[in-house]
Amino acid sequence: MAQAEAFEFGVEQGQMLQVLMRHCQTMKRQETRLRVATALLLATLLATFVWIQQLNTKEAFSGARPEALKTTDSPRSHSVHLEPLRQMDPCSEQQPIEWLEVSDGYNSENFKLENRTVLHVSSKGLYIINLRISYRTAYNLCEPDTVSTLVVNVTQHHRNYPRERELVSATETMICRDCLSQSITVNRAVGLEAGTILRVRINQNSCKFVNWVKNSHLDVTFL
């Protein structure tokens, strides 16, 4: 009798275990299906959102006037381009370089060149100064293999300043050799007051080496 009851109990446990396994398998299948359905739903919602955005963009462009779709050009910067007028004669420490304004399509309304040596700035703001002075040695200009010092200064003066101030300065050395070319290039962003005047000077000893007719210029741009 006890063996029969134990056998029946074992059968019942086996049946219950099978039912539990089938239930777990069913739950796993349902969970997988739920995940797939959720992913499909999210993908559908995302695709719908993208489609609506594209549709709104097309409608916005189709309703806009042709001139409104054109890219608006940024305001043209005011710039001045100066080139040396002639050789400084005599070379003097106190005499600034004389310049000639070259248009080249520049909008230079913000600048005025006075006495060929003084550049007036009419607006307060940020400016880019681009200066290049080219040098060239030639026969009998200097003793071979001697070293010369090249100095370039850009100064500013304003009614609020008690004296002229150095704005940009550069110093280099050059060895004296026949037909040797060299240049000093300075680029700097500076803040200037309205009514500021600018001058460019070089040291007296380097004046004879300046290549006045080629690759020397002063560009000032108002941003």
Mean pLDDT computed over every residue of the chain: 77
Give the per-residue pLDDT at 12.
Answer: 59
Give the per-residue pLDDT at 14.
Answer: 59
Please say whether the beta carbons of 214 and 95 come within 8 A: no
Ranges in the chain, pLDDT < 50: 57-75
Place of tokens 């803040």: 191
Three-state secondary-structure class, residue 145: coil
Domain ranges of the chain: 2-68, 78-222
In order of 63, 68, 74, 107, 194, the CA distances from 71 in angstroms are: 17, 8, 9, 21, 32
What's the CATH number for 78-222?
A: 2.60.120.40
Which DSSP state fits 210? Answer: B
Give the per-residue pLDDT at 188.
Answer: 94
Q: What is the DSSP string of 105-134?
A: T---TTEEEETTTEEEE-S-EEEEEEEEEE
- Percentage, residues of the chain above pLDDT 90: 38
Any bridge partners for residue 78, and if so which?
A: 222
What would the two tokens of residue 84 be? 């040396």
What would the two tokens of residue 18 be? 């099978």
Any bridge partners for residue 80, and if so which?
A: 220
Give the per-residue pLDDT at 57.
Answer: 46
Give the per-residue pLDDT at 103.
Answer: 74
Contacts of 211 (CB under 8 A, 6+ apart): 134, 135, 136, 181
Give the per-residue pLDDT at 40.
Answer: 61
Task: State the Cα–Cα distance between residues 25 and 27, nearest whole angstrom.
Answer: 5
> Positive or negative CA dihedral for 109, 115, 117, 122?
negative
Give the per-residue pLDDT at 6.
Answer: 52
Three-state secondary-structure class, residue 141: coil
φ, ψ at 162 (rounded to 5°) = -70, -25
Neighbours of 210 (CB within 10 A): 20
Dihedral Cα 204, 205, 211, 212, nearest 10 deg = 20
3-state secondary structure 34-99: HHHHHHHHHHHHHHHHHHHHHHHHHHHHHHCCHHHHCCCCCCCCEEEEEEECCCCCCCCCCCCCCE
Each residue's pLDDT tens digit, 174-199: 999 888 899 999 999 999 999 999 99
Each residue's pLDDT tens digit, 135-154: 998 878 888 899 999 999 99
